[in-house]
Amino acid sequence: MQSGPREIVTPFRPIPLDVPEGMKPNEFFNSTENLNDLVHNNGLLQNPEGLLLYRKALGHSNDFDCSIIYNTSQSILDPLGRPVRRTQVPEPVKNVWNRMDQIIIEFMLEHYPDADAHLVLAGEASLDATWPLTSPGVPSIRMLHNHFIVFDKAALRAAPIADANNPNLTDGGQHSLFQAHMRDVYRAFFDGLDLQILEPCESDASHIALTGYPQGLPSWEITGGAAALKEVRFWKEYDSILKGFIDFYRTFFTQVSTRNAPLPRDIYFPALVEARLQFDNDFLKTAKMVRDRCIRDARYANAIRWQPAFKQLIYRNDDGKLIVTISQNSIGNAITELLGVVVVRTPDADAYGRAEPALIEKLLEVRRRLVEADLGTGIATPHWGAA
């Protein structure tokens, strides 16, 4: 069978939301009013920490698909002031969130045990608040949320090959910038992190044979598998990967912006940055290349994401092992496309209705386990009760 990214069609039930006259959809979707609808029509569970588990009304998959959002819509009214990455979340909130993540991933692996039959993934993408609101691909909800998704591999095998030049798959050319010009220094920088549970793995072990993705990304196997997700150490290392990426990204684009710039303020690993990046000729040569192009190419300069933008993912590979990877996210592509799955959402209430009962049954079982672990209380909607 040909290996390549797949394009699948996922039906959804049209959402009965009227965008007020004079507002753009992405402006409305950032409002408290929209989040109220999310809670009352799709909410499954919420807790005092502000974490909301909900069904994805515009989902990626109708096999299993839900999200947790850090719902700051009523406590931080400025959409540009809300947390957009894990490093900005208060520790007590993150502790609860990590436990929720662990339980949901455990459920997915238990319910879908065969790596040949199902693609299982969980993770988050940055919602970078430096994006102009008018830019294409601006996040519809400017609050940090993560995804839990399962795809049927038989459906993926039957799906057509996606256009390899789809900009969401190519990441706008900036992923290739890291890989083509700074691959060695990029990997060497991550090698400087203190990791015990996360073990670097080669691309042959990390990519999904069916799609051929991820492509060229640094990846780590979670030694100990799902059991390791119950250890605090794992989540600290998961955060270290993100912090290292943020340091690398900020240092690079600081050098792109200003030649011979000092270390960025408030970086996480200053000694590592100084030793592995600020004195590396390939790193600085690439920054000059990008700087020079920005000066002469307005379209290219406008596409630069100057602040850290990423997708960070936990997924199951073909051998049944859990893998962590992280990717630059220059355009706003869906997290599924990191694994080579392009989702085309189509309004089809009847088709969604046929899949809905089984989907809701699984989501309610996840909710039951979270409530049992004292991670929140159930929410009643027109579609299900509070318990």
The lowest-confidence range among 79-83, 276-280, 350-354 is 79-83
Q: How far apart are CA 44 and CA 48, in angstroms?
A: 14
pLDDT at site 172: 45
Closest CA to 4 of 187, 199, 164: 164
Residue-wise DSSP of 335-363 = GGGGGTEEEEEEE-HHHHHHHHHHHHHHH
Q: Are 274 and 286 in contact (CB under 8 A)?
A: no
Measured distance CA(317)–CA(323) in Å, rounded: 7
- Domain ranges in the chain are 6-378
Proportion of the chain above pLDDT 70, given as a percent: 91
Strand-pair category, 198-201 with 341-347 = unpaired
Name the one residue in this structure whose structure tokens are 């499954």: 44
* Spatial distance between the Cα atoms of 376 and 235, rounded to a whole number of angstroms: 20
Between CA 118 and CA 100 the distance in angstroms is 22
Nearest of 38, 48, 45 to residue 17 by alpha carbon: 38
Q: Is 163 exposed, middle or buried (0-12, 13-18, 19+ CB in 10 A)?
A: middle
Report the C-alpha gap between 161 and 341 in whole angstroms: 10
- Answer yes or no: are the C-beta atoms of 112 and 358 closer than 8 Å: no
Give the pLDDT mean for 180-206.
90
Beta strands in the chain, from DSSP E residues, in sequence order: 6-12, 43-46, 51-55, 64-70, 118-125, 145-152, 198-201, 219-222, 310-316, 322-328, 341-347, 377-378
Q: Is the pLDDT of residue 334 over 90?
A: no
Residues 131-162 as b/e (b if ≥16 CB within 10 A, e otherwise) read beeeeeebbebbbbbbbbbbbbbebbeebeeb
Q: Which of 53-62, 237-246, 304-313 has the lowest mean pLDDT?
A: 304-313
Of residues 146, 184, 125, the one with CA closest to residue 305:
125
CB atoms within 10 A of CB 259: 10
The per-residue pLDDT of the chain, averaged, comes to 89
Question: Residue 203: is its pLDDT beyond 80?
Answer: no
Stated pTM of the model: 0.93
What is the DSSP secondary structure assignment for residue 9, as one 8-state letter?
E
- The predicted-structure confidence for 81-129, as pLDDT tens digits, reads as follows 888 889 999 999 999 999 999 999 999 999 999 999 999 999 998 766 5
Neighbours of 51 (CB within 10 A): 22
User: In 10 A of CB 25, how many CB atoms?
Assistant: 11
Q: What is the DSSP string of 76-99?
A: ---GGGS--SGGGS-HHHHHHHHH
Q: What is the DSSP letter of 317?
A: -
Instruction: Say how far apart CA 338 and CA 325 lie, in whole Å.
Output: 9
Query: Per-residue pLDDT tens for 127-163?
Result: 665 555 555 555 556 788 899 999 999 999 999 999 8
Instruction: Tell me if the bond preceding 214 is cis, omega within 30° of 0.
Output: yes
